[in-house]
């Protein structure tokens, strides 16, 4: 995104255009733009990895369930006003080739990633 004013709160919606031209809009979200580069300011970050994902309804795939990930997600949502950016440094949902697990993971982190920059590490950096 370009042209954002530093420290300003922005509102946005995500929409989808149907084949008849009608646009269906989702709910409104907000985020705050970062400060001006080089500006002396406090930036609070969260860094973690190996979170996985879990289903709140108790359904799960055999031998692929990380219930602790719900605790991590809940705490991040609870503390949303106390940090500015998230760095998720690897091993995201342990999807193991199943697209539906990626969908579940993105739904799990959506309350965070809709309001805060949510950066993920690139695979295979060897660090």
Token reading at 99: 């697209």
Both tokens assigned to 122: 């690139």
Tokens for 73, please give them. Answer: 């997600």
Contact 8, 32 (CB under 8 A): yes
What pLDDT is recorded for position 64?
63
pLDDT at 104 over 90: no
**Does residue 63 carry a pLDDT above 70?**
no
- Highest mean pLDDT among 19-23, 45-49, 99-103 belongs to 19-23
**36 HSE (CA, 13 A, CB side):** 4
Residue 91 or 4, more confident: 4
When comparing pLDDT for 126 and 16, which is higher?
16
Residue 121: name the closest of 80, 88, 78 by CA: 88
């Amino acid at each position: 995104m370009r042209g954002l004013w530093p420290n300003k709160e922005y509102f946005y919606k995500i929409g989808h255009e149907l084949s008849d031209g009608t646009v269906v809009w989702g709910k409104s979200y907000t985020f705050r733009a970062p400060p001006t580069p080089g500006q002396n300011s406090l930036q609070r970050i969260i860094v973690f990895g190996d979170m996985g994902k879990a289903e709140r309804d108790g359904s799960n795939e055999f031998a692929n369930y990380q219930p602790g990930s719900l605790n991590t997600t809940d705490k991040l949502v609870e503390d949303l006003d106390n940090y500015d950016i998230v760095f998720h440094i690897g091993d995201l949902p342990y999807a193991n080739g199943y697209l539906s697990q990626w969908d579940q993971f993105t739904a799990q982190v959506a309350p965070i990633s809709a309001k805060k920059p949510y950066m993920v590490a690139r695979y295979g950096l060897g660090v």
